[in-house]
Structure formats: structure tokens, C-alpha cells
């Protein structure tokens, strides 16, 4: 385990470069100063390059010295010694985090360069790059986190930037409503994550990975949790991962996320964000190993998600939707691999899949042209792919087709059994409250009841 000052300084550079980018892009608008497109693109490229170079140097150093773990310890921003409570900020460069963070910098750099042209003169150009820098910060922090609190910090930033970018074309209601739905799922996932973090804090008084995942280098650590603790804490982490990676039963949001611009769809839902749940499971794999039942649940959810995505993806009528489900199918398989106890295979699977899917999503706007080019090159029409419907009995194929077209009706089930009863009950409470205050005041006049749905700007009612 290396903790030399040189490694720490370079590691700090890797973590600080996204923060620098966030400050460089975030502060000027708050001071009402407008940045032009060239300045934003240059700042993004420079910071990504600094971070990528720092990570490559660390990787080279680790290979040269044979060290498997480099720790960057930034101390305790908060400690209450009397209560044995502290927040520890620590980053780990190891066999898991180094590939993931390198993938992050490479893809974010590539997509940033692509978006610079793709969004040229788009009114939301600055907003895109600001949210993008927030995403980069979240991904780097989450990938390198050495404590559960640090990982949660990155996790939340990724969620927020994701919701904001889905609502990128916010002059239309549809992207906004989809972003709202995605944010709802993320909040459930965040709540589960926070509870897991607190359960760990409650058990050990701190959330450092080396305490509860064992001190051995990844993936050889032995968790200090007992089987029951591992099951419950692992289950909470699995819910968090399922929300972030759109595993069943949270898969409904993934096609909705395709409302965002293509560059963000590629990097979020084809490459990085969608794999963050699987990354979390890999990071806490020593906890999974403590509970065979939990591993079985992970495998079941992974396989069910893969089967669901394979069925639903086949009948999607838009390219990005089909690619979203294709991604989901692979994420399901990666999850099942993790549940089966594999460690390096899912990591390689994540990296390969992320690169392929990013390329596919970036080419998605020109898929028809690509198709024509291939046909011209081949000199014949491309044949129809062989579908599984050939093996299905005709009486079931139609109903399965409809079920798949409705994306398993996951969203409508959620609406019907959760959202609508919840909203109906509290709307009733609101009506009762209004009646009660009307009764008390003896006056039914209330300005909020008379507020029109929208008011022209500058004209007070």
C-alpha cells in the first residue's frame, strides 16, 4: 500500500481536476459573466486531460512498484471524538477504481469533444457543459471513494446531473416530466444508499471501506460483517444499485432518460452512470460474499433484468430506446456475474460494453445513413434479424409483444399502486385542511385558490 507524497500529490490532482472544472464553469455564470463556447470546451478538455494524465501516472507507478493500492487520505472534515463519530474523506486507487476512473476520463473527454460540435450554437451549450462537469466530479469521486460517505457524495452528484441533463431540452414538458420521474427513482436509490451508509456507521462508528470490507486489496478483502448484517446492509446497497442501474423493478426510467441530448445519453446511459450500480456491487463484493442468499438475489435480479431487457428491447420503435434496453440487458448480465462471485470478468465486461455502447449511441442520430452505407457496400438489402418470436407459440407471441411494447407496464403499475393513491390521499388532506381553515377564519377567501395556471411575466395579478 503506497502512501508516498508523490503518489498523494498526483492522486490529489486526479480528484481535484473535476472540481477545478466545476469552479471554472460554475462561478462565471453566478457572477453574471458569460463564457463563450471555445473557452468552455478548452477548460473541459484541459481539466479532463490533467485528470487522465494523473491517473495514468499513478497506474504506471503502481505497475512499476508492484503496489496494488494507493491511498489518498484527506483527513476528517468532521470529527466528534467523544461520540466516536467522524467523516473520513479518502480516495483509493486500486485494481477496481483505476480502470473505472480511466474509463470515465476517456469517455468524458471524448464525449466532451463530440458535444462541442454537436451542441454548437445550441442555447443550452453552457448548461450542458456545467451539468457535464458536475457529472464528471460525481463519477470521479464515486469511482475513487475510499469511504462510504465519499461514495455517497459522488453518487448524489451523478444523480442530480443526470436528472438535469434529461431535462436539457426544457422548453418542452415531456423531457421535464421524464427527468422528474427519473429523479423520483434516484431518490429511492439514494435513500437506500444513505440508510446502508448509516447502518455501517452505526455498526463500526465509521464508513471506511478497509474497516468493513477488510484490509486486503480488492477483490481479496474479507468483510468483518456477520452474515445477517451483510444481508441487510447488502440488500440496501442492492436497492441503491438497482435504482441507479435501472435493474428490475426500476427499469422503467431508462428509456425515458433518452430524452436528453445524444452525448449525455451516450455517456450516462450507455457507458458510465448505468454501470455505477454494478460498480458499487463490485466495490462491496466482500459484503456479498458473506451472504449466499444475497448473492442469489443479485443473480436473480440480474438475470431477470437481462431477460426483460432482451424481450422489451426487441420491439422498441426508436433507436435510442432499443439501445437503452440493449444496455440494460448487458448491465443485467454484469450484475448476475457479480452475484456468481466473478470479479474481473464483470469489470472487463463493464469497460467493453461502455465503449461499444457509447459508440452506438453517438451514431444513433445517423443510423439510417449508416444502414444505407452498409447496404451500398454489400450491394444488397440487409436481412431481417432472426427473432425469438419464431420459437414462441402464436397464441402467446401477440400478448408478449404487447407486454414488451408497454415495457412490461412497470411505469403504469408504479403509477397505479404507488403514485396515484399517495397523491390522491394527500390531495384529500389538502382539501380538508382548506375547509378547516375556512371554517376557523369564517372566510373562504384564499389568494392561492385564485392563482391562474400561468401569469405573464411582469404583470402581477
Partner 1 sequence: MRALHFPWLELSILIAALGAVVVYFTSDRAQARRRSILYSGLTLVTSVGGWIDFGLLRTFEAHDSWDPIARLLGVEVLAVDELSAPLLPLVATLFFLTHLATLRTKLRDYSFAQSLASESIVLATLSCRTPWILIFLLAAGTIPPWMEFYRTRKPARVYVLHMAAFVLLLVLGQILLDRGQDSPFALTGILLLTLAVLLRNGIVPAHGWLPDLFEHLSFGTAMLFITPMLGAYGMTRLVLPMAPLWVLKAVSFASLFTALYAASMALVQREARRFFSYILLSNASLVLVGLETATPIGLVGALSLWLAVSLSLTGFGLTMRCVESRVGRTSLLDFHGLYQQVPMLAALFLITGLASVGFPGTAGFVGLELLVEGAVRSDPLVGVAVVVVAALNGLAILHAYFRIFTGKTHAGTIDIRVRRAERISVLILTSLIFSGGLYPQPGVQTRYHAAVELYKLRASHRPDQLYPGFSSMIPDDQGKAAAPPH
Positions that interact with partner 1 (CB under 8 A): 29-30, 32, 76-80, 82-83, 85, 87, 123, 127, 149, 152-153, 156-157, 160, 163, 167, 170-173, 176, 179-180, 183-184, 187-188, 190-191, 194-195, 198-199, 201-202, 422-423, 426-427, 429-430, 433, 436-437, 440-443, 445-448, 451-461
**Radius of gyration, CA atoms only, the chain:** 24
Pair 106, 52: CB distance under 8 Å: yes
Vertex 290 angle, CA 287 and 293, to 5°: 105
Please state the closest distance from residue 309 (CB atom) to partner 1, in A: 26
* Burial category of 23 from C-beta neighbours within 10 Å (exposed 0-12, middle 13-18, buried 19 and up): middle
**Where are any strands of DSSP class E within 368-413?**
none
Q: How far is the CB of 188 from partner 1 (least distance, A)?
A: 7
* Closer residue to partner 1 (CB): 4 or 180: 180
Alpha-carbon span 93 to 208, nearest angstrom: 14
d(CA 139, CA 133): 10
Report, in Å, the least distance between residue 162 CB and partner 1: 12
Shortest spacing between CB 362 and partner 1, in angstroms = 26
- Closer to partner 1 by CB, 163 or 361: give it: 163
Q: Which residues does 104 contact at the CB level (< 8 Å), separation at least 6? A: 136, 139, 140, 143, 272
407, 252 Cβ separation under 8 angstroms: yes
Q: Which is nearer to partner 1, 402 or 423 (CB)?
A: 423
The Cα–Cα gap between 89 and 148 comes to 9
Q: Closest distance between partner 1 and the C-beta of residue 154, in Å?
A: 9
CB of 334 to partner 1, least distance (A): 26
Long-range pairs for 230-233: beta carbons < 8 A, 24 or more residues apart: 230/287, 230/288, 230/290, 230/291, 230/294, 231/290, 231/291, 231/293, 231/294, 232/199, 233/196, 233/199, 233/200, 233/203, 233/287
Between 229 and 305, CB nearer to partner 1: 229
Other Cβ atoms within 10 Å of 299 Cβ, number: 17
Torsional sign, CA 157, 159, 165, 170: negative
CB of 61 to partner 1, least distance (A): 29
User: Nearer Cβ to partner 1, position 150 or 291?
Assistant: 150
The CB-of-396 to partner 1 minimum distance in angstroms stands at 39
Query: Taking the complex as a whole, how short is the minimal distance between the CB of residue 23 and partner 1, in angstroms?
Result: 11
The nearer residue to partner 1, 168 or 209, going by C-beta atoms, is 168
CA 459 to chain centre: 41
Nearer to partner 1, 77 or 216 (CB): 77
Cell of 121: 450554437
Q: Which is nearer to partner 1, 70 or 199 (CB)?
A: 199
Least distance between partner 1 and beta carbon 91 (Å): 15
- Whether the Cβ atoms of residue 78 and residue 138 lie closer than 8 Å to each other: no
Task: Give the span between the Cα atoms of 172 and 265, in whole angstroms.
Answer: 18
The Cα 55–Cα 10 span in angstroms is 8
Q: How would you classify the pairing of strands 85-87 and 90-93?
A: unpaired
| 371 versus 427: smaller Cβ distance to partner 1 | 427
Considering the complex, state which of residue 123 and residue 393 has its C-beta at the smaller distance from partner 1. 123
Q: Of 130, 134, 124, 133, nearest to 155 (Cα)?
A: 134
Amino acid at each position: 500500500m503506497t502512501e508516498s507524497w508523490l503518489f498523494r500529490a498526483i492522486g490529489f490532482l486526479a480528484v481535484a481536476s473535476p472540481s477545478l472544472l466545476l469552479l471554472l464553469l460554475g462561478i462565471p455564470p453566478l457572477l453574471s459573466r458569460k463564457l463563450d463556447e471555445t473557452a468552455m470546451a478548452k477548460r473541459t478538455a484541459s481539466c479532463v486531460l490533467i485528470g487522465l494524465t494523473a491517473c495514468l501516472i499513478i497506474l504506471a507507478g503502481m505497475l512499476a512498484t508492484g503496489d496494488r493500492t494507493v491511498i489518498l487520505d484527506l483527513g476528517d472534515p468532521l470529527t466528534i471524538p467523544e461520540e466516536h463519530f467522524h467523516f473520513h474523506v479518502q480516495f483509493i486507487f486500486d485494481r477496481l477504481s483505476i480502470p473505472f476512473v480511466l474509463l470515465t476520463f476517456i469517455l468524458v473527454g471524448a464525449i466532451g469533444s463530440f458535444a462541442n460540435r454537436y451542441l454548437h450554437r445550441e442555447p443550452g451549450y453552457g448548461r450542458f457543459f456545467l451539468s457535464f462537469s458536475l457529472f464528471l466530479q460525481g463519477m470521479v469521486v464515486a469511482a475513487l471513494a475510499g469511504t462510504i460517505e465519499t461514495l455517497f457524495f459522488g453518487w448524489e452528484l451523478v444523480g442530480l446531473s443526470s436528472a438535469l441533463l434529461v431535462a436539457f431540452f426544457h422548453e418542452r414538458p415531456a423531457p421535464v416530466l421524464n427527468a422528474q420521474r427519473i429523479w423520483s427513482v434516484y431518490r429511492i436509490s439514494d435513500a437506500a444508499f444513505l440508510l446502508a451508509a448509516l447502518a455501517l456507521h452505526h455498526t463500526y462508528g465509521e464508513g471506511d471501506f478497509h474497516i468493513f470490507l477488510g484490509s486486503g486489496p480488492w477483490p481479496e478483502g474479507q468483510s468483518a460483517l456477520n452474515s445477517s448484517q451483510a444481508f441487510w446492509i447488502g440488500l440496501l446497497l442492492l436497492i441503491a444499485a438497482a435504482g441507479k442501474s435501472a435493474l428490475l423493478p426500476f427499469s422503467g426510467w431508462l428509456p425515458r432518460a433518452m430524452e436528453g441530448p445524444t452525448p449525455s445519453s451516450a455517456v450516462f446511459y450507455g457507458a458510465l452512470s448505468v454501470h455505477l450500480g454494478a460498480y458499487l456491487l463490485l466495490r462491496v463484493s466482500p459484503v456479498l460474499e458473506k451472504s449466499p442468499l444475497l448473492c442469489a438475489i443479485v443473480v436473480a435480479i440480474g438475470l431477470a433484468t437481462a431477460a426483460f431487457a432482451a424481450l422489451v428491447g426487441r420491439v422498441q420503435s426508436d433507436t435510442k430506446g432499443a439501445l437503452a434496453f440493449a444496455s440494460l440487458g448487458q448491465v443485467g448480465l454484469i450484475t448476475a456475474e457479480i452475484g456468481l462471485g466473478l470479479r474481473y470478468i464483470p469489470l472487463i465486461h463493464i469497460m467493453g460494453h461502455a465503449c461499444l455502447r457509447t459508440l452506438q449511441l453517438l451514431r444513433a442520430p445517423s443510423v439510417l445513413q449508416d444502414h444505407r452505407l452498409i447496404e451500398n457496400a454489400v450491394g444488397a438489402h440487409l436481412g431481417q434479424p432472426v427473432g425469438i418470436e419464431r420459437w414462441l407459440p402464436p397464441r402467446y407471441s401477440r400478448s408478449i409483444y404487447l407486454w414488451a411494447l408497454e415495457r412490461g407496464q412497470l411505469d403504469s403499475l408504479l403509477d397505479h399502486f404507488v403514485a396515484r393513491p399517495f397523491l390522491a390521499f394527500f390531495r384529500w388532506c389538502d382539501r380538508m385542511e382548506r375547509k378547516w381553515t375556512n371554517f376557523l377564519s369564517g372566510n373562504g377567501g384564499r389568494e392561492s385558490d385564485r392563482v391562474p395556471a400561468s401569469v405573464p411575466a411582469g404583470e402581477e395579478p
